[in-house]
Amino acid sequence: MMPHFPVSSGRDIPLAAGIGLRGPHKREILDEKPAIAWLEVHSENYFGGGLPVRMLEEIRVDYPLSFHGVALSLGSCDGLSTDHLKSLKTIVDRFEPGLVSEHVSWSEVHGTHLNDLLPLPYTQEALDIVCRNIHHMQDFLGRQILVENPSTYLEYKHSTIPEADFMVEVATRTGCKLLLDVNNIFVSAQNHNLDAFDYIRKIPPALVGEIHLAGHSEIKVNSRASILIDDHGSKVKNDVWGLFEFTLQQTGRVPVLVEWDTDVPDLQTLLAEATTAQRYLDNLPARAKEKRYAA
Amino acid sequence: MKTTKVLALTAISTALSLSAISLAPTPVQAKEMEKCYGVVKAGHNDCANAAGTHSCAGHATTDGDAGEWLLLPKGTCDKLVGGSTEPKAKN
Amino acid sequence: MLRNTQKDFKDAVLNKDFSSAANDIKPKRDIDPIDLIQIHLNNSMKSLTKVLRSAFPVTEQIVGEQFFTAAAYKFIQENPPQSGCLTYFGGDFPAFLAEFEPAKSLKYLPDVARLEWAWQHAYHAVDEKAIDLKDLIKVDSARQGNIHLKFNNSITLIYSPYAIDTIWERHKQGFVDEESEEIDVEDHAAYMMVARPRWEVIVRTLDVTSYVFLEKLKKGGSLIEATDAALQIEPRFNLQKNLATFFADGLFTHYYLKEE
């Protein structure tokens, strides 16, 4: 029997569009307190003390928070770092975020951290390892987590499971939810000649706890071929908005987040992206809005 | 006991006397945080933002590959003079 | 096996040994597998270089961007991070620079880097409550010499035979460019303290006696040993003033008594 974890101990994340909190915007958000439905932070930035943590305490008063990890390496065959889990638990207990999430990818092997969200081969072995690590993480934190699908530039010869099936199996086995990054699905599908809509259709709506949106760019690898790079450095592309709309029709209302990490623009530009995402949520037909509660 | 130790003891009992301690300034924290918010960006290292670093592809990486024998520091170091001889000894 | 796949990938990213990793990759039309791995190599190296860049901005100004990048790449290859919390990545960079052949002529450079790392460490250090000088009143006057003080974890003491305080201060404010006056790096030795007992990172040049006093205390010496060490250098060492300043800074978190 799978243990039942509380989804959240703190302020719930609303079924609305929020933004990723980035350094250059902190001051303005604290001073002006603009209307933003919720904020997501990279957990690892708050593992120390001092100003970052102090400022987050203040921000938390006005905004629901989500903690998004980027370095736990759920795909490590060596298991999870206890120090990392302890630091994460400390801030989760202190800030009581509405959501806690991580990536289905790997960054660490033999004690070396490569600081990239590296793709996993989708095999039974990798599935077992990822599930074991998610179980460990949820047990350690005493709560449910969400896991995000990666953007990938390469595939492994020995992969045997389509990524969407892999993600669904991970959530089904561990009781975690999925953070569906629609931009990542688009990027990976383009790079590997797959159908992004098919991917979305495979995901049971009830498993989706959050959606991510971001910009990507196209880079020439050589004179004949180019590849899409998930650089979070521009506005959400039109095709991705289209895929997002399709996704919402399946899932109904869920928390949506716009991320921007490279060439971070002024806060207004980022908030305008969130407003666009919110419009898609508001335009959902009543039936689709309710779907989430029926599921 | 060496003479300096005697001096040290005297200094300690003076410094920790009731009157000396009551004169010591109490730390004032007001305004300090506000001031610091202004410098958040300077030297601040975002602990991990791997998700946002996919800004390069192909062979663009060679910028770190210059052979060491070709490497010459070319920053403000030409404004920093001296230091080519052995330093003064500590004390 | 996943472990082998990951090890192959690590060899590619850190050592540019692509052969095994490329073998694991599903072929793509018109794209060499190595080019795909190279994307990840770039992600790792560039993101980690960015971490070092933000921790060592003055060091970078001194050697220039290209030199810094090359040094950073070599450092990352030889000392990759062992933890996902990159706050701790770069602590070994000053020692690396001291051994980095192309930087050997800049003898002050590792000390400047040490100062920058101390700032970085202090900025992210775990918060701790300070004790007050008044707390020491409780100690019986006969035992005051045996007082030991525990330092806030953010504190680093740095000695350099070079004027790293001037170098750091001038660069930090962006005062060094083509038109700038030269800085004599041998103008004076620097005795420095970096700490963040509350919110603000304090970077302070101390006189040698205050430095010796703090250093002795920090290494576990008693109040009498530290005072004695300072008095031996300078008979006019003002203990009262030093204690008042350092306690007001909030440098100490506990005191304890230990009989000698």
CB contact under 8 A, A70 and B44: no
Which domain range does residue A242 map to? 17-294
DSSP C250: T
Any domain includes C119 = no
pLDDT at residue B69, as a whole number: 55
- The reply to whether C161 touches chain B by the CB within 8 Å rule is yes
pLDDT at residue B26, as a whole number: 65
Do C96 and C134 belong to one domain? no
Residue A45 is part of a domain; what is its CATH number?
3.20.20.150
When mean pLDDT is compared across A40-49, A96-105, B14-23, the lowest value belongs to: B14-23
pLDDT at residue C21, as a whole number: 95
CB A171 within 8 A of CB A206: no
Any domain includes B39 = no
Any domain includes B3 = yes
CB contact under 8 A, A51 and C123: yes
pLDDT tens by residue, A277-293 = 999 999 998 755 555 54
Which domain range does residue C79 map to? 1-106
pLDDT at residue B35, as a whole number: 56
Any domain includes A4 = no
pLDDT at residue B85, as a whole number: 45
Do C83 and C153 belong to one domain? no
CB A181 within 8 A of CB A225: no
For chain B, which residues score pLDDT lower than 70?
1-4, 26-70, 83-91
CB contact under 8 A, B4 and C162: no
pLDDT at residue A84, as a whole number: 96
**Arithmetic mean of pLDDT, A210-228:** 92
Q: Which of A221, A238, A164, A150 is nearest to A195 (CA)?
A: A164
Choose, out of B12, B59, B70, the residue to mutate when testing the contact with C (most C CBs < 10 Å).
Answer: B12
pLDDT at residue A256, as a whole number: 98
Any domain includes C250 = yes
Contacts of C75 in chain A (CB under 8 A): none
Do C91 and C154 belong to one domain? no
- Of A51 and C164, the structure prediction assigns the larger pLDDT to C164
Q: pTM for the complete prediction?
A: 0.91
Any domain includes A171 = yes
Q: How many domains does chain A have?
A: 1
pLDDT at residue B90, as a whole number: 42
Do C202 and C101 belong to one domain? no
**Arithmetic mean of pLDDT, A54-81:** 95
Q: How many domains does chain B have?
A: 1
pLDDT at residue C5, as a whole number: 97
Any domain includes C168 = yes
pLDDT at residue B59, as a whole number: 40
Any domain includes A71 = yes
Do C144 and C211 belong to one domain? yes
CB B10 within 8 A of CB B4: no
The nearest CA of chain A is from the CA of C23 a distance in Å of: 8
pLDDT at residue B67, as a whole number: 57
User: How many cross-chain Cβ pairs, B to C, lie less than 8 Å apart?
Assistant: 221
Neighbors of chain A by Cβ distance (3+ pairs < 8 Å): B, C
Any domain includes B37 = no
The question of ipTM being above 0.90 is answered as yes
Which domain range does residue B2 map to? 1-25
| CA A40 – CA B42 distance, rounded (Å) | 23
- The reply to whether C39 touches chain B by the CB within 8 Å rule is yes
Q: How many domains does chain C have?
A: 2
pLDDT tens by residue, A160-193 = 999 999 999 999 999 999 999 999 999 999 999 9
Any domain includes C117 = no
3-state DSSP helix/strand/coil percent for chain B, to nearest 5?
45, 0, 55
- Of A48 and B69, the structure prediction assigns the larger pLDDT to A48
Provide the chain B residues 13-52 that lie in CB contact (below 8 A) with chain A.
33, 36-38, 40-41, 44, 46-52
Do C257 and C220 belong to one domain? yes
**Arithmetic mean of pLDDT, A211-232:** 92
Any domain includes C239 = yes
CB contact under 8 A, A71 and B50: yes
Pick B52's closest partner by Cβ from A46, A47, A232. Answer: A232
CA angle C106, C58, A266 (to 5 degrees): 155
Query: Tens of pLDDT along chain C (260 residues)?
Result: 999 999 999 999 999 999 999 999 999 989 999 999 999 999 899 999 999 999 999 999 999 999 999 999 999 999 999 998 888 899 999 999 999 999 999 999 999 999 999 999 999 999 999 999 999 988 998 999 999 999 999 999 999 999 999 999 999 877 787 778 889 999 999 999 999 999 889 999 999 999 999 999 999 999 999 999 999 999 999 999 999 999 999 999 999 998 75
Any domain includes C132 = yes
**Arithmetic mean of pLDDT, A45-58:** 92
Q: Give CA A119 to chain center in angstroms.
A: 15
